[in-house]
Structure 1
Amino acid sequence: MSEDKRLTTGRATRAQVLGEAHVARAEANTTEIDAAFQDFITAGAWGSVWSRPGLSQRDRSLITIALLAALGHDEEVAMHVRASANTGASAEEITEALLHVAVYAGVPAANRAFKIAKKTLGQMAKESGA
C-alpha cells in the first residue's frame, strides 16, 4: 500500500475509533514540530495496524487498553476507554482486560488503570445521560 493510501486509510480508521472530533482537534493542533509524527502514527498505527483485517476493532481496542495500562500511559488509557464506545468493547470486557494487566503486568498498573477506566466510563455515562 502506498504512503498516501496508508494516510487516507489511517485517517478514516482513526476517526472511526477515536471519533471525528478527536482527529479534527489533533489535525488543528498539528504544527511543523509534530507534523511528521502525526503522519507517522496516522499511516503506521492507524493505516497499517488498526486497518488490518485479522482482528476486529473491538479486539484491537481491548489489546490496546491492556498494553497502555501495562505501560502506565494514563492519558492514552483514558482516550482508548472513551474510544470503546466506537469499537464495541464493553465495560465488562475492559474489566477483563484489566484483570489480565494485574496478572501479567502487576497489580499497581491495573489499579491505576481501573481508576482511569471507572472515571472515564462514569464521565461517558453522564455525557450520554445514562
Structure 2
Amino acid sequence: MADDSLFAQGMATRRAVLGDAHVDNATARTTEFDADFQTFITEGAWGSVWSRPGLSKRERSLVTLALLAGLGHEEEFAMHVRATLNTGATPADIKEALLHVAVYAGVPAANSAFKIAKQELAKRQEAAQ
C-alpha cells in the first residue's frame, strides 16, 4: 500500500528533477506489471532520498551520475545528464564527477560515461540554438 504523502513528495521531486514530460511519459507507460515498482521508486528514491534536506539537488545529481557511470547503467546515466538542466549541475560539474569515476570505478566506465555525456550535452546545445 502506498504512503500517499511520501508518494506525493516523491512525485513532486521526480517532476522537479526529471521534468514533467519525462514523468508523464513514464507514468503513461506504467502497467499493472510494473505499477508497484513505479510506486516503490517514487516513494523510495524520490520521496525518501532525493527529497531529503542534506544535499542539494545539484549535489545529489552529481552523486547519482557518478554511481550510474561507475555501475555502467548507461540509459539511466543519459537520463540523469539530461536532468542536470533542472538540478543546476553544469557540464564542468559532470566532467569533474566523471574524473572521479575514472579513478575510483575505472577508466572504461568513465570513458563510456564521457561519450554519453558529450552526446547528451551536444543535443542540449543543438536544442538551445
Q: What percentage of aligned pairs have identical amino acids?
A: 66
In structure 1, what is the Cα distance between the partners aligned to 2:64 and 2:103? Answer: 16
- 3-state SS, counterpart of residue 89 of structure 1: coil
For 1:8, give the aligned amino acid: A
Aligned residue in 2 for 1:82: 82
| Structure 2 runs not aligned, ≥5 long | none
For 2:124, give the aligned amino acid: M
The alpha-carbon deviation at position 125 of structure 1 amounts to 0.8
- Write out aligned runs for 1:1-130 (5 A): 3-129=3-129
In structure 2, what is the Cα distance between the partners aligned to 1:106 and 1:53? Answer: 31
**What do the CA deviations read for 1:84-122 (whole angstroms, capped 9, x no partner)?**
000000000000000000000000000000000000000
The alpha-carbon deviation at position 3 of structure 1 amounts to 1.3
The number of residue pairs the alignment matches comes to 128
Task: Compute the TM-score of the two structures, normalised by the length of structure 1.
Answer: 0.97
The alpha-carbon deviation at position 56 of structure 1 amounts to 0.1
In structure 2, what is the Cα distance between the partners aligned to 1:66 and 1:91? Answer: 13
In structure 1, what is the Cα distance between the partners aligned to 2:68 and 2:41? Answer: 15
In structure 2, what is the Cα distance between the partners aligned to 1:66 and 1:6? Answer: 26
| Structure 1 runs not aligned, ≥5 long | none
In structure 1, what is the Cα distance between the partners aligned to 2:57 and 2:25? Answer: 22
Runs of 4+ in 1 over 3 A off after TM superposition: none
**What do the CA deviations read for 1:12-61 (whole angstroms, capped 9, x no partner)?**
00000000000000110000010000000000000000000000000000
The alpha-carbon deviation at position 128 of structure 1 amounts to 1.5
CA RMSD of aligned residues (A): 0.8
Task: Compute the TM-score of the two structures, normalised by the length of structure 2.
Answer: 0.98
